[in-house]
Structure 1
Amino acid sequence: MTADRRRILSFAATLAIGLAGGAAASFANLPVAWLLGPALLVSVATLAGLHTDLPPKLRDLVFFLLGIQAGSGVTPAVAEQIALWPLSFAIQMLGVGLTVVLSVAFLRRVFGWDKDTALFASLPGALSFVLVAATQTRADIARVTVVQSVRLILLIGALTPTLAWLEGGAAEQAGAARGAEGGLLEFALLFGICAVTAVAGVKLRLPGGLMLGALIGSAVLHGTSLVDATLPPIVAIPSLLLLGVLIGSRLRGIDRAMAGRLLPASLGVFALGLLASGLAGLAGVALLAIDFGTIALAYAPGALEALTILAFQFNLDPAYVAAHHVVRFMCIALAVPFLARRASSGRNGLGDPE
């Protein structure tokens, strides 16, 4: 069998599993069923050994479409809250710092992990930067990868039903209700501007640049009321499904026996991350007068693309959520080279001595 044929069959199997997961979740009336169902079922299939896959070009198209969708949730009223964002960023980063401190202490004291591995497994997000930096130290890369990947799946699985409960369980209806009929000229303007901003996001190397760039273009058009139309369900639902497939396939290459052994550590790090971000969120609600659902998505430790889309689905503020994940990503990306240098020295408090 040729490599191309294997890739096609792998994608077909992955898509079938995603469809089954979405249909089952929809039948069970789960919130954001066409994201949550595929993400969970494809995750199980991936850990079971199936080679799950999403072609890069299709992945890029999904990010572009979902960026447009998320940006359509921005209204002119959003500008009134922008003055609060700097304080909100500061509160968020205090939560990130608390997450790292608690998680490192937990992994060190409960499981006896070395300092390097505990540190890089505890950083919430910016996984590519974290893994590259960790390779320059004595950190156990396999452990770091498993804990970080499992945290992402748990985050989506836990936050979605929690937000549905907090927001009254009308996620799909909220997202669909925002849709509006648009003429050909309006859609041409929307897709044209968003294509330009998406390419700019990639060129500027923004985190999630393709999706974030499209979101910015869509947000400007919708926030200024130049455009009212949003993606119809026939486009939005398959995009959600494919994002769920992508999330589940990120566990590819992880040894399931190791994932099982590391599950207690992964659950502990996940719980401590939720605790720290939750405390920061409560402070944010008290000081900023922004609703808890929006802050919960913004302060959650990771998953920029998925959580921004959840903000749209739950009729929250996707621009606020995306901005906070970009800030968290950038702060961690800037910090990890410094942390790696200190860890590799072995004498500055981050790495164990020789």
Structure 2
Amino acid sequence: MTAGMSARLRRALALASTLAMAAVGGAAAAALDLPVGWLLGSVVVVSIASLAGHDTNLPKGLRDAVFIVLGIQAGAGVTPAVVDQLALWPLSFAIQMLGVLCVIAATYVFLRKGFGWDKETALFAALPGAMSFVLAAASETRADMTRITIVQSVRLLLLIGALTPTLAWLEGGEGVLAASRGGSGTLGVYAILVAVCLAGAFLGHLSRLPGGILLGALAASAVLHVTEIAPVAVPQPIAVAGLVVLGALIGSRLKGESRSTMLELLPASLGAFVIGLVISAVAGLAAYQLLGIGLGKIALAYAPGALEALTVLAYQFNLDPAYVAAHHVVRFIGIALLVPILARHLSKPD
């Protein structure tokens, strides 16, 4: 056997074992009746496997395919009633972005003064969400990439762990596994849904937004469901598989070589997470009081990060995925515009 074939075989075995572990974890959590158990269980099991040193990386093609499926599913949760609340969105965006600025400022000061981190590392670790963009921008500076990656990864994992049971409590225990919205249809209707959503996913990819593939498929699916051109449901086995793979993707962000560093950075990571969560919660409560939008929707929309996972949770809890996804896109755009300004300011001498 050649070295190339041996490497491919090892990679295939690693992929198969990762997906198997994710499925077992998801099934166990679902059997325990945990909220969105298929997602939560796979995140926990694959995170543990990643920290133990197992190769949990998933191929890009599989990731993209799952994002398309999840986007189609989330789009089915958009109803004509969403249009009635569109007028409230701009003010909701403004409140959210004020909260984002406060999160960045408070976390930056916490990491800078509390732990003595350098300016660049503290800034990029303080940015809530948009992890791929943040890491790409940070890589072109003198920032400590390990610290940034761990703080951002811990924030993501804790968000999933904290928000899932919180939403189950707020929504009265819903969301163990949401039934797919829509009904059954002919092969022709499903072909229309898949073809249009693939085109939407491609356009989303071209936009270069985080989660662009999922967002494009979601938008296309939403149009087809609201107009009733293709108001069909994603088959439940496919929906479950999508949740399992998404959980594996989230868990695979951790790496075995990060174990000792992760423990060392745990106080900073937990502090940054708590600051982001508390300030986002205050902003969310303000939006709730001013706009009357449901707490569950606001919790997901204002949460600091994890666009794909939180959009899927919005669907699972029947909480307007379009509203949630739109707020995460606005937050990303705001961060993308802020980073050059903040980086220029931080380059000046103290």
Q: Normalised by the size of structure 2, how large is the TM-score?
A: 0.95
Map of 1:191-210 to 2, 5 A cutoff? 191-210=194-213
Per-residue CA distance 1:80-132 (angstroms, 9 max, x = gap): 11111111100000111111111112212322222221111110011222122
Per-residue CA distance 1:299-343 (angstroms, 9 max, x = gap): 000000000000000011000000000010111122223323333
Map of 1:250-329 to 2, 5 A cutoff? 250-252=253-255, 255-329=258-332
Following the alignment from structure 1 to structure 2, what is the Cα–Cα distance between the partners of residues 238 and 212? Answer: 19
Q: Contact 2:180–2:236 (CA<8 Å) still a contact in 1? A: no
Q: Contact 2:70–2:242 (CA<8 Å) still a contact in 1? A: yes
Question: Is 2:66 aligned against 1:62?
Answer: yes
Unaligned runs of 5+ in 1: 348-352
Question: Is 2:97 aligned against 1:93?
Answer: yes
Following the alignment from structure 2 to structure 1, what is the Cα–Cα distance between the partners of residues 305 and 207? Answer: 21
Q: Which amino acid aligns with 1:309?
A: V
Following the alignment from structure 1 to structure 2, what is the Cα–Cα distance between the partners of residues 81 and 254? Answer: 47
Worse-matched range after superposition: 179-188 or 306-315: 179-188
Map of 1:212-231 to 2, 5 A cutoff? 212-231=215-234
Question: Is 2:111 aligned against 1:107?
Answer: yes
Q: Contact 1:17–1:41 (CA<8 Å) still a contact in 2? A: yes
Following the alignment from structure 2 to structure 1, what is the Cα–Cα distance between the partners of residues 276 and 336? Answer: 18
Per-residue CA distance 1:253-302 (angstroms, 9 max, x = gap): 65110011111111111111110110010011111111000010000000
Q: How far has the Cα of 1:135 moved from its partner? A: 2.9
The number of residues matched between the two structures is: 346
Percent identical among aligned pairs is: 61
Q: Contact 1:75–1:224 (CA<8 Å) still a contact in 2? A: no
Q: Contact 1:179–1:232 (CA<8 Å) still a contact in 2? A: no
Aligned to 1:38: 42
Following the alignment from structure 2 to structure 1, what is the Cα–Cα distance between the partners of residues 133 and 256? Answer: 18
Q: How far has the Cα of 1:40 moved from its partner? A: 1.3
Aligned to 1:7: 11
Map of 1:18-33 to 2, 5 A cutoff? 18-33=22-37
Aligned to 1:176: 179
Question: Is 2:86 aligned against 1:82?
Answer: yes
Across the aligned residues of Structure 1 and Structure 2, the Cα RMSD in angstroms comes to 1.4
Following the alignment from structure 1 to structure 2, what is the Cα–Cα distance between the partners of residues 338 and 105? Answer: 17
Q: Normalised by the size of structure 1, how large is the TM-score?
A: 0.94
